[in-house]
Each structure stands twice: as C-alpha cells, then as structure tokens.
Amino acid sequence: MTNGHNGHGAPPILLTIAGFDPSCGAGTAADLKTFAAHGCYGTAAVTSLTVQNTQGVETVHNTPSAELRAQLEALAKDCNIAAVKIGMLGNRGNAAAVAEFLDANKFAHIVLDPVIKSSSGAELLDAGGIKFVATELLKRVNVITPNIPEAEVLTGLTIKEPADMETAARKLVEMGARAVIVKGGHLERAVDILFESGEMTHLAADKVKVENTHGTGCAFSSALTAQLASGRSLFEAAALAKTYVTKAIEKGYAIGKGRIPLDHFYRQRIEPPARGIHEVPQHGLHPAAEPAAH
C-alpha cells in the first residue's frame, strides 16, 4: 500500500461498475458512499444513465460499450485497484465489455451484484445480458450476490424458502460461480445463504420493519467489496456487510415521496472519529458486529 501525501497509508482503491441513479439511493452513487463509509477510496465507471427518483425509473440510457471500455481502461492504467464491484450493466454489450476488462486485468476481489430489475420493477438488463451473465460473467468473479428474484431468473428455479435458496446457490456454482450469496430479504426473515467451497452457511438477522427501501443490494455488495479488500474472509465480509446494511436501513430517512434510501453514513453520525473530523479509523475495519452463523 502506498503512502499518501499526508504521511498516512493510502486506503484501498475500489472500482464500481454500475449505473447512475440521480436520487443517489442506488447505483454508483450509493456504491461510492458505501466505499467511503468503510474507509476506502471509490472510483466508478458508469454503465447507464437512468432518469429516476425515489418513486421509480422513468427512462434508461445505456452507455455505449466502447465508452464503457474507455472508462475502464483509463482507470486501470492509472489506479491500483484493490477490488471491483459490478452492478447494473444494462445490456449484453456492456456485460461483454466488462468480461473483457476482467480478463485483461487480474483483480484480487471481484463481486457481482447481478442487477436485473430496479426496486420499482423497471427492467435494467436485457435478455442477452442476462444470458451472458449466467453463462460467462459469473465465471469471472469471486462471488455473485443475487437476491431471490435475480437467483430465480439466473437459475430458472422457484424460491419460496431457505431450502430453495440453497438449491439455487448450488446450481449457480454448477453454472460456474466460485461462491454465492443468495440474499433472502424477500422472505419473511432476512436469511442470506452463503455457499463457498462446498459449505453452506446461513446468515440470519431480524427483518427491519421498513417498507419500500431502495438500494439495499448495492450497499450490501459494495460493503462486501470493501471488507474483502480490507483482508476479511468471505464469511466475515458477508456477516459485516449484512449488519451494515441492516443498520443503514434502520437509520434510513425519506428524501422524497417514494422509496426510502439507506443512511450510508449512519456510523459516522453515531460514532464520530476519535482522532478528529478529518481522519477515519482503520480502513474498512469498522467492527459493525461479530459474525454469527446459524
């Protein structure tokens, strides 16, 4: 790790590849806030410009794949990127451009959040993109983090209970994924399933009684990326990311008339840095909670 101009060790540099949400509850803006909340420096390549607010997505303008490639190449030749988070891709062309980028650059940690629909139900990945993610892109990442609807689309299975989530996780590994976290926020209890190296682990938490949240998947995958870049195991990173998102949902507040975004900086409000306002404690190592397996 290089030293900054102020004499302190520079934080990990992370890259998010995702769409832009003008309300900043999801997409690259939410990812960058999550990276910063974990003491990391965030960079971003924008796959799509969406026209949306808290009430929903109005239109989507996908970045031409050549422009996406140019963004990615510009960052890769300049920055020492410690980890990559992939979110909304929009179409097959952009998914293929990202796959080429990953092949050309060997990153230590790659997290794929396979965004297919927005929280309000708007389509965010075309059919060709879904097929490419399922057959090609998931083979190139360290971990894929679908929610239940996304896991159903990718596997063709119906998921109604944790046992179905386990089946979907196994199928995604059979399809080429190295590790899988199926997020169970759509079920009655917030149980996530981690499947890694043949071992199945349940990560459970009480479901937060908040309706119509926005950007939870983005925050989870970004927090997971930050924790992995900071040296955590996948189990530890997943447990800490889940706790972070749960608390950020609890602290969320309305900014408009629709869905409620997370408070990505809730820790900074309740736990001010001890050494002064301009300093952040250990990069990405906030002890949000002790990991608990069930």
User: Element (H or E) spanning 44, and its range?
Assistant: strand 41-53
Catalogue the active-site residues: 183, 213, 215-218
Q: What's 62-86 look like in SS3?
A: ECCHHHHHHHHHHHHCCCCEEEEEE
Output the CA–CA distances (angstroms, integers) from residue 32 to 58, 145, 161, 219, in the order listed.
23, 18, 33, 9
The DSSP output letter for 207 is P
Closest-CA residue to 198 (of 221, 225, 177, 227): 177
Q: Find where tokens 């309740």 sit.
A: 270
Alpha-carbon gap, residue 104 to 16, rounded angstroms: 17
